[in-house]
Amino acid sequence: MPVFSQSSTIKPKRAQLDRSVAGAISAQAPFERIKHYLKSGLATGVWPPGALMPSESELVAQFSVSRMTVGRAIRELQQEGLVERTQGVGTFAAELHRVSSSLTIRDIHEEIVGRGHVHRATVHLKRAERASASIAKRLDVKLNSVVFHTLLVHHENGVPLQCEDRFVNPICAPDYLSVDFTEVTPTHYLFQVAPLIEAQFSVEAGLPSSREAKLLQMSAAEPCLIVSRRTVNRDTPITFARLVHPASRYQIDSVFKPY
């Protein structure tokens, strides 16, 4: 595994991390405080996949604990698949291997947490706007009628995994724009307020838009797996979403069983 030095670009993030988690972890057991600190750094990209993390000696000094306590915290993170240790070299943020999903509607937060990893969402757009011809057709609403629009990026262990561009029919979820989507995903919220009866999928290989490439921190020439999904409650469309995933980080699995 390549060794990465702690570069100057990481240090400011480390300082911000120290301040942001200090209050939240003060009441925890020593090894749990260290785990929380390291998990927070992984989730926010302080240590991207493959990056060298703080040494045991650094953590001993920072938290004023024994080497045994630090060792326990790191071992548990290793068991959870969040870090990798190389004897005589150090501890590294685990590489994010390509992950898979079945062709079902599942909350991406649950997918990521189910793999023992950390999910984080960033919201880049949340507003009401006029429906274009394309969106009006997909949501079965009148042209220029008001629809809700959100744009999120979902991260797994600090790595962008999915760009979610979603339009919602206000009739089905009138309070949609008041939800904090850093705390609950749009999928989870819509499951609660507008149970679906039918889902329509389209899956294709393609290239990201320039904006999607920037949000996903990838080359605009890198292929993506693009899922277009429309869900319906009885005869009323609830939402249409374009879900873009870097092909190197994601795949879809399916099982067919004949009757």
87-141 pLDDT per residue, tens: 888 999 886 655 444 445 678 998 888 888 889 999 999 999 999 999 999 999 9
pLDDT band at residue 78, thresholds of 50, 70 and 90? confident
Taking alpha carbons only, the member of 235, 241, 236, 243 closest to residue 170 is: 236
- Give the number of other Cβ atoms within 10 Å of residue 157's Cβ: 26
Query: Do residues 125 and 151 make contact, with C-beta atoms less than 8 angstroms apart?
Result: yes
pLDDT band at residue 226, thresholds of 50, 70 and 90? very high
pLDDT at 164: 98
CA gap 63, 74 in Å, rounded: 14
Average pLDDT over residues 61-84: 90
Per-residue pLDDT at 197 exceeds 70? yes
Average pLDDT over residues 79-94: 84
pLDDT at 1: 39
pLDDT at 18: 54
Higher pLDDT, 107 or 151: 151
| Candidate from 14-23, 37-46, 172-181 with smallest mean pLDDT | 14-23
Taking alpha carbons only, the member of 208, 211, 150, 214 closest to residue 182 is: 150
pLDDT at 2: 37
Predicted model pTM = 0.64
Average pLDDT over residues 214-234: 92
pLDDT at 51: 86
> b/e string for 38-69 if b means 16 or more Cβ within 10 A?
bbbbbbbbbbbbebbbbebeebbeebebeeeb
For residue 179, what is the DSSP state? S
Per-residue pLDDT at 247 exceeds 60? yes
Domains identified in the chain and CATH numbers: 10-93 (1.10.10.10), 99-253 (3.40.1410.10)
pLDDT at 253: 59
